[in-house]
């Protein structure tokens, strides 16, 4: 079920954070479990005082216990110690800088973001292949690439961005699987062009991503929203985030 308005997204996120569903039942940002007949439809106001961007459908699905906690524990330990983590150097407006986290890329093609390229790595760890198969079976989507992130402590982070690189195609599906410490996943809606990148009054959503949880981002999520995992001001243990995706070399849709 797609959502077209930011307010519904926030309200549903708040409700979903208070409701825990069994691992086998996906928890959506739509009330299809509680009220399957409810639908959220964008209606343009009768009197328009400012340009209203064409609504696009986005869909977020949360599986709170996609991986059983005991199973997630040994998976976390294995991934932390057996993935060849490294610190990537990107190029920003002020020159090169090291990412405040560790990463590892798996896929048959390179992946470029922040003016820096990760080389092809077809040597998938068996556990990652098993997790990919499990996600594909439950979600109905297929994936051919994976960006792994290791947040070592509270000062590791990822800044505001969208997963909208050309090789991901239009409306990419991103499956984000979390292990370890709970960290806050924040989203903000991109402002219309006339606001010139001013996010002061942007719609915002905060989602705590727990050990073993899966977040699925579909539709125009990457086109219309940005997301980040911010630094925190309290001690945090390590967290691993696996972001499965499909690459189309050359930007094929």
Q: CB within 8 A of 200, min separation 6: which ones?
A: none
Map tokens 């909208």 to a residue. Answer: 164
Residue 239 and residue 214: Cα distance in Å, rounded?
14
CATH code, domain carrying 223: 2.60.120.590
Q: How many structural domains comprise the chain?
A: 1
Residue 51 pLDDT: 42
What φ, ψ does residue 157 adopt, rounded to 5°? -165, 175
Examine residue 207 and state whether it is found in any structural domain, yes or no: yes
Could you give the maximum distance between any two Cα atoms of the chain, in Å?
A: 59
Examine residue 104 and state whether it is found in any structural domain, yes or no: yes
Examine residue 179 and state whether it is found in any structural domain, yes or no: yes
Tokens of 251: 């930007």
Residue 93 pLDDT: 82
Most confidently modeled of 21-30, 48-57, 204-213? 204-213
Calculate what percentage of the chain has a pLDDT beyond 70.
77
Examine residue 69 and state whether it is found in any structural domain, yes or no: yes
How many alpha carbons fall within 13 Å on the CB side of residue 66?
27
For residue range 136-157, what is the model confidence (pLDDT) as tens digits? Answer: 999 999 999 999 999 999 999 9
The answer to whether the CB of 103 falls within 8 A of the CB of 85 is: yes
Among residues 123, 120, 128, the alpha carbon closest in space to that of 78 is found at: 128
Examine residue 192 and state whether it is found in any structural domain, yes or no: yes
Examine residue 27 and state whether it is found in any structural domain, yes or no: no
Task: Decide: helix, strand or coil at residue 73.
Answer: helix
How does DSSP classify residue 41? Answer: -
Examine residue 160 and state whether it is found in any structural domain, yes or no: yes
Examine residue 34 and state whether it is found in any structural domain, yes or no: no
Tokens of 162: 């969208």
Dihedral angle of Cα 65, 67, 70, 72, to the nearest 10 degrees: -120
The Cα angle at residue 232 between residues 230 and 235, in degrees rounded to 5 = 140
For residue range 80-138, what is the model confidence (pLDDT) as tens digits? Answer: 999 999 999 988 888 898 999 999 999 999 999 888 899 999 999 999 999 999 999 99
| pTM for the whole structure | 0.78
Among residues 210, 184, 228, the alpha carbon closest in space to that of 76 is found at: 210
Residue 25 and residue 199: Cα distance in Å, rounded?
35
Domain residues for the domain of 90 are 64-245
């Amino acid at each position: 079920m797609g959502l077209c308005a930011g307010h519904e997204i926030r309200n549903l996120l708040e409700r979903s954070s208070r409701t825990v569903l069994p691992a086998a039942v996906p928890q959506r940002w739509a009330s299809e479990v509680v009220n399957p007949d409810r639908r959220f439809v964008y209606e343009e106001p009768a009197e328009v005082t400012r340009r209203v961007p064409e609504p696009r459908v986005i869909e977020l699905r949360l599986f709170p216990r996609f991986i059983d906690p005991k199973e997630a524990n040994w998976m976390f330990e294995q991934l932390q110690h057996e993935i060849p983590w490294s610190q990537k150097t990107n190029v920003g407006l002020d020159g090169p800088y090291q990412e405040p986290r560790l990463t590892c890329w798996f896929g048959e093609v390179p992946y470029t973001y922040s003016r820096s390229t990760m080389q092809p790595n077809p040597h998938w760890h068996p556990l990652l292949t098993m997790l990919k198969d499990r996600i594909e079976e439950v979600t109905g989507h297929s994936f051919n690439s994976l960006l792994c992130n290791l947040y070592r402590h509270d000062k590791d982070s990822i800044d505001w961005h969208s997963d909208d690189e050309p090789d991901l195609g239009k409306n990419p599906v991103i499956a984000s699987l979390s292990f370890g410490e709970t960290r806050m996943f924040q989203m903000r809606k991109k402002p219309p062009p006339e606001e010139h990148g001013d996010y002061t009054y942007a719609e915002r959503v905060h989602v705590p991503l727990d050990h073993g949880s899966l977040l699925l981002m579909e539709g125009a999520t990457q086109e219309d929203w940005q997301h980040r995992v911010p630094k925190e001001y309290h001690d945090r243990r390590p967290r691993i985030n696996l972001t499965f995706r499909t690459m189309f070399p050359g930007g094929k849709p």
